[in-house]
Amino acid sequence: MIRLEGSKVAADLQAELTELTAKYREQGIVPGLAVILVGEDPASKVYVGRKEKMAEKIGIKNFAYNLPSDASQEEVLELIDQLNRNDEVDGILVQLPLPAQIDEQQVLQTIDPAKDVDSFHPENVGKLMQGLPGPKPCTPNGIMHLLKAYDIPIEGRHAVIIGRSNIVGKPMAHLLLDENATVTITHSRTKELAEITRLADILVVAIGRPNFLTGDMIKDGAVVIDVGINRLDKKLVGDVDYETVAEKSSFITPVPGGVGPMTIIMLMYNTVKACELRRIP
């Protein structure tokens, strides 16, 4: 069994991006990333903090906004409108989830698709579905990079995804399909789940339930990608029961240090690419 070390692959990409931003700085161009946090959710604060720190390391300028938890829809939309028009800002990210009074869909649809570094805007989702160029959502794209970094073949293999969220499961299916995998998406209403997961050559688990996937649910030699981040007894655990699954799998991502660092670095990648497309002749 080989551990898919997202931290190491992300560190290599970090070095490449840092070199690129240094080159752009010589031309007087500094990529900019605006991160909007609404409210005081502690987990969101941690994620935002990590993104801002990574941006700084790479040479991306941070534009940080922390709106109060009772911020109105209009305030959020007005801020996005300002950022859409700010030429120094290449990427806009709204940390989810948003407080209940805010309409998430309207907020995401207000972001200029050219600055949509999370790739949640319907225009970019449509491009992904049609295989057109555009930003790719960070977590699934990070997983694709990780598979490629370890030369894991995708074409013709059966990929099973557990979870059908807009953030992970659905875009993951498209990216795998683009690489000619045969893809099955499963979810909470799927019957006889283990019978399907045992068919997987590549298994992506993104459901948000600690240690859900156990060793008896996979076939020998499967590649297992654990997207889950769950807090259990003050420890971070994935959706995969690492002990029982690792001994049967050929490759497996650890939690932490697997998919998480890839997600953050792909956000940086999307920001630098958005800057290139908008500002580098």
Ligand X SMILES: NC(=O)c1ccc[n+]([C@@H]2O[C@H](COP(=O)([O-])OP(=O)(O)OC[C@H]3O[C@@H](n4cnc5c(N)ncnc54)[C@H](OP(=O)(O)O)[C@@H]3O)[C@@H](O)[C@H]2O)c1
Shortest CB 3 distance to ligand X, Å:
15
Q: How far apart are alpha carbons 28 and 47 in whole angstroms?
A: 29
Map the footprint of ligand X across residues 200-219, applying CB under 6 A.
206-209
State both tokens at 58: 């790479």
Q: Is 267 in the site for ligand X (CB under 6 A)?
A: no
State both tokens at 21: 């931003």
Long-range contacts of 146-153 (CB under 8 A, 24+ apart): 146/4, 146/6, 146/9, 146/225, 146/253, 146/258, 146/259, 146/262, 147/4, 147/202, 147/223, 147/225, 149/9, 149/12, 150/2, 150/4, 150/251, 152/202, 152/223, 152/251
Map the footprint of ligand X across residues 118-147, applying CB under 6 A.
139
216 given a catalytic annotation: no
N-to-C CA span, the chain: 45
Q: How far apart are alpha carbons 45 and 37 in whole angstroms?
A: 8
Q: Is 260 in the site for ligand X (CB under 6 A)?
A: yes
On whether the CB atoms of residues 127 and 98 are closer than 8 A, the answer is no
On whether the CB atoms of residues 105 and 243 are closer than 8 A, the answer is no
Shortest CB 127 distance to ligand X, Å:
20
Q: Is 162 in the site for ligand X (CB under 6 A)?
A: yes
Say which of 90, 116, 118, 239 is annotated catalytic.
118
143 vs 275 by CB, closer to ligand X: 143
Please identify, among the stretches 84-92, 112-120, 214-222, 257-265, the one whose residues bind ligand X according to the rule CB under 6 A: 257-265
Handedness of CA 212, 216, 219, 222 (dihedral sign): positive
Q: Is 229 in the site for ligand X (CB under 6 A)?
A: yes
189 vs 234 by CB, closer to ligand X: 189
**Beta-bridge mates of residue 65:** 36
Region of residue 218 (left: phi > 0; alpha: psi -120 to 50; beta: else)? beta
95 given a catalytic annotation: yes
Q: How far apart are alpha carbons 159 and 140 in whole angstroms?
A: 13
Find the binder of ligand X among 263, 269, 270, 271 (CB under 6 A).
263
73 vs 166 by CB, closer to ligand X: 166
89 vs 259 by CB, closer to ligand X: 259
Shortest CB 239 distance to ligand X, Å:
6
130 given a catalytic annotation: no
Shortest CB 149 distance to ligand X, Å:
16
Find the binder of ligand X among 140, 163, 171, 254 (CB under 6 A).
163
Number of residues that bind ligand X (CB under 6 A): 25
List the catalytic residues.
51, 95, 118
Q: In the complex, which residues of this chain contact ligand X (CB under 6 A)?
A: 139, 162-165, 167-169, 186-190, 193, 206-209, 227-230, 259-260, 263
